[in-house]
Amino acid sequence: MLKRYLVGLVAVPLLSGCVTAPGNYIDTSRLETQTSGQPAEVYPVKIIDAEVVSEQAQQRLEAERTQSAGVDPLATSDHYVYRIASPDILGISVWDHPELTTPMATTFSSGGNTTQTLAGALQQPYTTALPGQADPYGQTVAADGTVFIPFAGRLHVAGKSVGQIRDQIAASLVPFVRNPQVDVRVLSFRSQKVQVTGQVKAPGPLAISDVPLTLVDAITRSGGTAADADLQRVRLVRKKRLYVLDANRMLDQGDMTQDVRLQAGDVINVPDRIDSRVFVMGEVKTPTPLPMYRGRMTIADALTQAGGILDSDANPHQIYVMRGMKERPTTPEVYRLDMTQPESVMLSTQLQLQSMDVVYVGTAASTTFNRVLQQVLPTLQTLFYLKQLTR
């Protein structure tokens, strides 16, 4: 009777193990796995050798050339001219005719009340737009693109350069002033701006001035990049079209096609490195996602940063690289590196990984067997003790 009681006492928790066992679990009784009935996909594996490494390097160069070719129309022009538009503020002076010059005590500006003198405005860094409540004394270009000039009336100046406006005002004053000597400069650049967003220290709008504003200028004037910025994939949105620029390639290789000249309405976004990382999994000491440094990382870099492969558990013949699962989920590229070969160790420092690659270290056959034993042995021990109790 005692034996039967002990057998029942031990059998109950065994039969209802998922109910009484400690730890997290999910009740699968209401889950049904549906299969398509199609055979599993077979993925061809390429052995990583010198030819594959050379091919990968050539593809990387071709990709960089293609990116540069697509950016060429955006490259900085040597003949940049700033065009006036509303509501820029102009300072106009006519030599020896103070009545035609923007006076120091009053203003012709239609921009509202002013709080600055002309001298104070000239001391400000005019590459940055001045606040609207602190407009410098001067002529504000109206919404219709005109400014008012005494005697000459309203002149249309929008879309013209400072030199063209100077000649236009001088010609309009000829009937009233003998040999007019006119000077025009922009006191406040307010009509054109770009937006800088993302991983910069001071995101916000930047004014475009008579000095060409390039990509690097915009990032620098925004305080520089944050620690997690990805300069390899800077995004430029222009006229509803997206361009991806590699600022790292410009800084490292001097590729000036990436330092494009910005235009009014451009939006610059410096992303973080969430899409510029690789994943190391399998039999390594620290499985982890790793951010790429300036868009570069080799297999050796990834394995080293993950603590290296496990000496007793890893299969050095099975170092896999899985690529393209985001763009081609049904047909990814799979590569294998045999780290037991001397040349493979050197190749591991040459093959460049790509963003979102997965590096997987396989498991040794002996390790798999030992892990099965670890799962079976507790059950065998329980059965053994149960048998001893029932004697």
Distance CA 96, CA 99 (A): 9
Sheet holding 267-270, edge to edge: 204-207, 193-198, 267-270, 234-238, 241-245
pLDDT recorded at residue 1: 52
Is the separation of the CB atoms in 279 and 354 below 8 Å? no
Residue 282: enclosing H or E segment and its boundaries? strand 277-282
**pLDDT value, residue 360:** 93
Q: Specify the pLDDT at position 31.
A: 73
- At residue 78 the predicted structure's pLDDT band, cuts being 50, 70 and 90, is low
Distance CA 9, CA 6 (A): 5
| Fold (topology level) of 192-273 | Outer membrane lipoprotein wza fold like (3.10.560)
Q: What is the pLDDT of residues 341-356, one digit of tens each?
A: 888 888 888 888 988 8
Alpha helices in 287-341 (DSSP H): 299-305
The mean per-residue pLDDT over the stretch 40-63 comes to 82
Instruction: Give 218-274 pLDDT, tens digit per residue.
Output: 999 999 988 888 888 899 999 888 888 888 887 777 777 788 899 999 999 999 888
Q: What is the mean pLDDT of residues 191-212?
A: 92
Report pLDDT for 124: 41
- Kindly indicate the confidence band of residue 376, based on its pLDDT and cuts at 50, 70 and 90: confident
Residue 258 main-chain phi, psi, to 5 deg: -85, -20
Lowest mean pLDDT among 211-220, 240-249, 292-301, 381-390: 381-390
Q: What's the mean pLDDT in 279-288?
A: 92
The first and second tokens of residue 339, run together, are 């780290």
**pLDDT at position 128 over 70:** no
276-368 has the same fold as 89-188 = no
Any idea where the domains of the chain sit in the sequence? Answer: 89-188, 192-273, 276-368
Count Cβ atoms below 10 Å from residue 297 Cβ, excluding itself: 22
The full DSSP string for 49-84 is -HHHHHHHHHHHHHHHHHHHHHHGGGSPPSS-----
CA–CA dist 202, 174 (Å, integer): 48
Out of 46-60, 186-200, 364-378, the most confident range is 186-200
User: 301-317: string of b/e by CB count within 10 Å (b at 16+)?
Assistant: bbbebbeebbeebbbbe
Most confident listed range (70-74, 109-113, 165-169, 341-345): 165-169
**Which tops the pLDDT comparison, 17 or 308?**
308
Instruction: Tell which wins on pLDDT, 137 or 39.
Output: 137
pTM of the predicted protein model: 0.67
CATH code of the domain occupying 89-188: 3.30.1950.10
- Residue 320 confidence (pLDDT): 92
Q: How far is CA 92 from CA 9, 97, 118, 385, in A?
A: 101, 11, 11, 103
Query: By C-alpha distance, which of 295, 344, 341 is closest to 321?
Result: 344
E strand or H helix at 13, and its extent?
helix 2-15
pLDDT of residue 68: 57
Phi, psi of 12 (to 5 degrees): -60, -50
Say which CATH architecture domain 276-368 belongs to.
Roll (3.10)
Lowest mean pLDDT among 73-77, 89-93, 179-183, 286-290: 73-77
For the chain, percent of residues with pLDDT exceeding 90:
28
Computed over every residue of the chain, the mean pLDDT equals 79
Q: Of the ranges 115-129, 217-231, 252-266, 302-316, which one carries the lowest mean pLDDT score?
A: 115-129
| pLDDT value for 301 | 92
DSSP 28: G
| Res. 131 pLDDT band, cuts 50 70 90 | very low
**Quick one: DSSP state of residue 295?**
T
Asked if residue 378 has pLDDT above 50, the reply is: yes
What percentage of the chain exceeds 70 in pLDDT?
Answer: 78
Instruction: Give me the pLDDT at residue 387, please.
Output: 75
Which of residues 79 and 22 earns the better pLDDT score? 79
CB under 8 Å to 88, separation ≥6 — which residues? 140, 141, 186, 188, 189, 190, 191
Mean pLDDT calculated for residue range 286-293: 89
Closest CA to 295 of 278, 270, 320, 319: 278
Across residues 3-29, what is the average pLDDT? 54
- The answer to whether the peptide bond before residue 87 is cis (omega within 30 degrees of 0) is yes
In the prediction, which pLDDT does 304 show? 92
